[in-house]
Structure 1
Amino acid sequence: MLCFFLLWPMMIWSQTSFEKAKKLFEEEKYTSAKPIFESYLKQNPNDPKTMEYLGDLAGHQKQWDDAISYYKKLKAQFPMNANYYYKFGGALGMKAKESSKFKALGMIDDVETAFLTAAQLDVKHVEARWALVILYLELPGIVGGSEAKAKKYSNELLKISPVDGYLSKGYIFEYFQKYKEAEKQYIKAIEIGQSKTTYQKLADLYKNKMNSPEKAKQILDLYQKKKT
């Protein structure tokens, strides 16, 4: 009992410091949150939530090596957690984008494997499937890029989340400059989702790809009217 009462103030302080860091993170005060999370992790080694926050924080600050390190530990500690694989793949992919083409080529397999593993572990993981759609579109065919593969995961998205499915189909058509087809998909996404993202995607298509700023304005005005 004596040990418990001696440790109690430290336990309370520790919990309070974590909550403080979490609040700072949610307020996007990443520089202030980081040392508090790091201090908490020293007292609670391998605490998964703290490591995840530090990985997310590193990602927001584009410190990809740090983010990769935290997510790598997490996926090793929790090999059945889809989200840790997804975040690891995302951080590795962003590092690849900022690296030389030669160095990036050496990372592609690990990025793809991470996203595929996340998708296999969680049959409803929307973000992993979005990542695979984008990855397969952006990769050259010689290193694994494939319109067919992108469409495969877009179809999976349609079953899991119809809004994301139509948005991803619109994204694919837009990538291949089939703007009329993209427009149809984004309209379907709006009909189902009615979210700011769905309206914004169609407005961006009109403004940036179809040279129709007036249509873009009408879509955004329509969204504002629906909000009120």
Structure 2
Amino acid sequence: MKKRPIIALVLGLVASAHAGAATEYSAPLRAKKFVEAEKLANATLARDPANADAMLAKVNAILGASGVLRVEEAVKVGEQCVAARPQAAACHLALGNALGTKAANASMMSAIGYAGTVRDAFKKALELEPRNIQARFSLLEYYNAAPGIVGGGKDKAQDLARQTAAVSAPASQLMQAQIDIADSQFARAESALLAVQPGNDEVVADRQRDLLAMLGHTYLQNKKYADSERIFNLLQKRYPDSEAGLYGLGRLQQEQGRYREAIAVFEQALAVTELASTHYRIAHAALALGDKARAASEFDKALVAHTALPGKFRSDAQAQLKGLR
């Protein structure tokens, strides 16, 4: 089972954090205030241990704040949610996301062992709620990531994208764009992404935003700097309430050695949403400029921020701090 890039993994988690009916946890989860959301969920669970909304919020908050560091706890809460509400699609989806995070950070053999359980959780969510767009995207990600031996594959992803047209034409277009990005059909993916009009559908809008960010970062990884800059600027204009466009522009400038400009843009991104990864990037830009004090401060902030820092970034930040002190 292939390990999804961290940005792809986050897509499903962020979207599922606020999909469905609004609850008291929706606003902090949407704002990525994961510690606040978990505190609210824990308070509810202390009074009502079987409260499904609180369990769902806790799974999303744990994954958003800690990622793989507390993934076993997230899996346990997801299992409790399914046990308490076996007919709730959202519980199966949350469990699948937690197990997917575990698999994405496991060895290849272990990931293959988890694969069937992840797939079955997403398929059960879709069976219980066929119009659940997030369940469809999560299953698509599974098909894109997993080999045929464990029920994945491009053909299944494309079939699912086509079938989704009967539920939501915009979602179907975005799913095909996601498949195209995975196939390096960037121009076709970009055209499809820009053509989608989400309207009032938050799940579709969030997915469009995240796929535009994925495309921008993919262009960047392939050193298509002009394409990357165009996408990130467009992303910022379309979704000014998100840090995604600014973060992407900062990464582009950092990659080009424009460290002072990158830091300025990263600081703008932090003003929108504080992310551990943004502090981490500022730290490296400061290090490149010889500002060791700023670098140490930002590495510290990256390690204690209220959003998950990918494992290799966490290890690097800890190692960098040892050398700076």
TM-score by length of 1: 0.74
Among 204, 208, 211, which residue is 2:216 paired with? 204
AA partner of residue 87 (structure 2): M
1:126 and 2:138 matched: no
TM-score under structure 2 normalisation? Answer: 0.54
Matches within 5 A, 1:58-207: 58-60=62-64, 61-62=66-67, 63-189=70-196, 192-193=197-198, 198=208, 201=212, 204=216, 207=219
Cα deviation per residue 1:167-192 (whole Å; 9 max; x = unaligned)? 11111122112233323322332xx3
Distance between the aligned counterparts of 2:218 and 2:81, measured in 1?
Answer: 42
CA deviation profile, 1:173-228 (whole Å, cap 9, x unmatched): 22112233323322332xx337686477287289446936168538845973999x
Query: For the structure 1 residues 226 and 52, does the alpha-carbon distance in structure 2 shift closer, same or farther, using more than 3 Å as the test?
Result: closer
Task: Note closer, same or farther for the CA distance 1:22–1:178 as it changes in structure 2 (3 Å cut).
Answer: closer
Q: Which of 22, 35, 38 is equivalent to 2:42? A: 38
Structure with greater helix share of residues:
1
RMSD between aligned alpha carbons?
3.5
**Offset at residue 93 of structure 1 (A):** 0.6
Deviation track 1:43-100 (CA, whole Å, cap 9, x = no partner) reads: 3332223222222221212221111111111112211111111111011011011111
Q: Distance in 2 between matches of 1:222 and 1:50?
A: 32
Structure 2: state its 5+ residue gaps: 1-23, 200-204, 241-325
SS in 1 for 2:165: helix
Please identify, of 83-92 and 170-179, the stretch whose mean Cα deviation from structure 2 is larger. 170-179
Give 5+ residue unaligned stretches, structure 1.
1-18
Deviates more, 1:37-46 or 1:68-77: 37-46
**Alignment-mate amino acid for residue 204 of structure 1:** G
The answer (yes or no) to whether the contact 1:206–1:213 under 8 Å persists in 2 is: no
Q: Report the CA distance between 1:116 and its aligned residue.
A: 0.5
1:159 is aligned with what amino acid?
A: A
Equivalent pair of 2:216/2:227 in contact (CA under 8 Å): no
CA distance in 2 between counterparts of 1:146 and 1:108 reads 13
Structure ranking higher on relative contact order (CA contacts 8 Å, 6+ apart): 2
Q: Is the 8 A contact 1:135 1:145 kept in 2?
A: yes
**SS of equivalent to 2:224:** coil
Q: C-alpha distance in 2, partners of 1:107/1:116?
A: 15
CA contact under 8 A between 1:196 and 1:223: conserved in structure 2?
Answer: no
CA deviation string 1:88-115 (max 9, x = no partner): 1011011011111121111100000000
Between the two proteins, the alignment pairs up a number of residues equal to 207
Map of 2:254 onto structure 1: none
